[in-house]
Copies of this chain bind each other. A is one copy, B any other.
Amino acid sequence: MELPRLKPRGESSATKIDFAEYTPELLPFLGQAAALNLEVAENLARALAVAPSFEIKQRISYATSQVLATQHALVAEIRSLHADPDEHMRPFADALERYRTLATSSDWHELLLTCYLSGGMLGDFFEQLARGIGGDVGKRVATLLSKDAGAEDLATMLRASIAADAVLASSLAMWGRRLVGDTLLVARSALADVDSPGTPAHHAAEATIEPVFTELIAAHTRRMDGLGLTA
């Protein structure tokens, strides 16, 4: 899920090329992408269970199917490398647990907003990592993560609710602002060689990654604006 696009297709940038240096190994990358995508699916599943009408449930169910299809394709990529998906997802369990505490809700609007905003940021981020990895797998995974996966309809549902209820709009705006930091935190655990703060390599990595995160935040702001929320 990554609407709107970070940048027009075909536009190449120095940022993207530098970023590739910090892409992790293939299996840890696929493991993390699968673990975080499964978390998006779980939040959609939670929203499906608590949504107030058959109509809303039905619409959420299509997004859920699409995110699960992405999930099963990611897992199939791990299996095709003769590796165990569970083993390569497990290292991200702790980071996910923290994220889950902050980004999960019992309210379906908040859950959908998490899926749309956080799922969108994570989709953008892993799509860029996948392009950095390159090769056939990298291309397939980037294509997979560039799919809408139901995000447009999540946005449509949220936009309608937000336009109709100023109190809801205000509380969802706050929820959306909270999500940025939590999402960047859970995303950056994928980057190689940035886990030793204070080292020169770490500083160099930070400097390179910074513009990418700036882009992710800009795309997040555009998503918020598109929903009628103040970022």
Q: Which residues of A contact B (CB under 8 A)?
A: 35, 38, 41-42, 44-46, 48-49, 53-55, 57-58, 61-62, 64-65, 68-69, 71-72, 75, 85-86, 89-90, 93
The answer to whether A64 touches B38 (Cβ under 8 A) is no
- Give the distance to chain B from A137, nearest Cβ to Cβ, in Å: 20
- What are the 5 closest A-B residue pairs judged by CB atoms, nearest first? A45-B45, A55-B86, A54-B89, A65-B68, A42-B49
The oligomer's copy count stands at 2
The answer to whether A38 touches B65 (Cβ under 8 A) is no
The answer to whether A64 touches B54 (Cβ under 8 A) is no
Residues of B within 8 A of A86 (CB): 53-55, 58
Name which residue of chain B comes closest to A90, CB basis: B54
The answer to whether A45 touches B58 (Cβ under 8 A) is no
Residues of B within 8 A of A54 (CB): 35, 38, 85-86, 89-90, 93
A-B contact pairs, 27 of them (CB 8 A): A35-B54, A38-B57, A41-B48, A41-B61, A42-B48, A42-B49, A42-B57, A45-B45, A45-B46, A45-B49, A45-B64, A46-B46, A46-B49, A53-B86, A54-B89, A54-B93, A58-B71, A58-B75, A61-B68, A61-B71, A62-B72, A64-B68, A65-B65, A65-B68, A65-B69, A65-B72, A68-B68
Residues of B within 8 A of A64 (CB): 45, 64, 68
Name which residue of chain B comes closest to A93, CB basis: B54
Give the CA-CA distance A90 to B68 in the complex, in Å: 27
- Give the distance to chain B from A41, nearest Cβ to Cβ, in Å: 7
Residues of B within 8 A of A68 (CB): 61, 64-65, 68
- Give the distance to chain B from A214, nearest Cβ to Cβ, in Å: 32
Residues of B within 8 A of A62 (CB): 72
- Give the distance to chain B from A24, nearest Cβ to Cβ, in Å: 18
